[in-house]
Amino acid sequence: MNTKQSILKTATTTIKIESKAIAHLSELLTDDFADAVELIYHSKGRVIITGIGKSAIIANKIVATLNSTGTPAVFMHAADAIHGDLGLILEDDVVICISKSGNTPEIKVLVPLIKNANNKMIAITGNIDSFLGQQADFILNAYVAQEACPNNLAPTTSTTAQLVMGDALAVCLLELRGFSSKDFAKYHPGGALGKRLYLRVNDLSSQNQKPQVGLEASLKEVIVEITEKMLGVTAVVENDEIVGIITDGDLRRMLSKSDDLTALKAKDIMSNNPRRILEDAMAVDAKEVMEEFGISQLLVEHDGKYCGVVHLHDLIKEGII
At residue 184, the pLDDT reads: 66
CB 73 within 8 A of CB 66: yes
Q: Please state which CATH class domain 3-179 belongs to.
A: alpha beta
Please give the C-alpha separations between residue 77 and each of 102, 168, 178, in angstroms, as whole numbers. 15, 22, 31
Would the annotation count 77 as a binding residue? yes
* Residue-by-residue pLDDT tens, the chain, 321 positions: 689 999 999 999 999 999 999 999 999 999 999 999 999 999 999 999 999 999 999 999 999 999 988 899 999 999 888 887 888 899 999 999 999 999 999 999 999 999 999 999 999 999 999 999 999 999 999 999 999 988 888 999 999 999 999 999 999 999 999 877 666 666 655 555 566 667 889 989 999 999 999 999 998 899 999 999 999 999 999 999 999 999 988 888 887 776 667 778 888 889 898 999 999 998 888 999 999 999 999 999 999 999 999 999 988 888 776
Nearest CA to 225 out of 237, 239, 212, 215 is that of 212
Helix (H, G, I), strand (E, B) or coil at 244: strand
The residue length of the chain stands at 321
Helix (H, G, I), strand (E, B) or coil at 85: helix
Query: Within the chain, where are the H helices?
Result: 3-28, 31-42, 54-68, 78-81, 105-116, 131-135, 157-176, 181-187, 192-198, 201-205, 219-229, 248-257, 266-269, 283-293, 312-317
Query: Which residues lie below 8 Å from residue 303, measured CB to CB, with a gap of 6+?
Result: none
At residue 175, the pLDDT reads: 92
Give the CA radius of gyration of the chain: 30
For the chain, residues classed under CATH 3.40.50.10490 are 3-179
Q: How many CB atoms lie within 10 A of CB 256?
A: 7
Sheet containing 233-238: give its strands across.
212-213, 233-238, 241-247, 271-272
At residue 255, the pLDDT reads: 77
CA-CA-CA-CA torsion sign (65, 67, 73, 75): positive
At residue 262, the pLDDT reads: 75
User: What HEC string does 260-304 produce?
Assistant: CCCCCEHHHHCEECCCEEECCCEHHHHHHHHHHHCCCEEEEEECC
CATH assignment, 198-317:
3.10.580.10
For the chain, residues classed under CATH 3.10.580.10 are 198-317
Nearest CA to 225 out of 286, 309, 298, 301 is that of 309
At residue 84, the pLDDT reads: 78
pTM above 0.85, yes or no: no
* Phi, psi angles (nearest 5°) of residue 200: -110, 160
* Phi, psi angles (nearest 5°) of residue 165: -65, -40
CB 62 within 8 A of CB 163: yes
User: DSSP character for 232?
Assistant: S
CB 286 within 8 A of CB 319: no
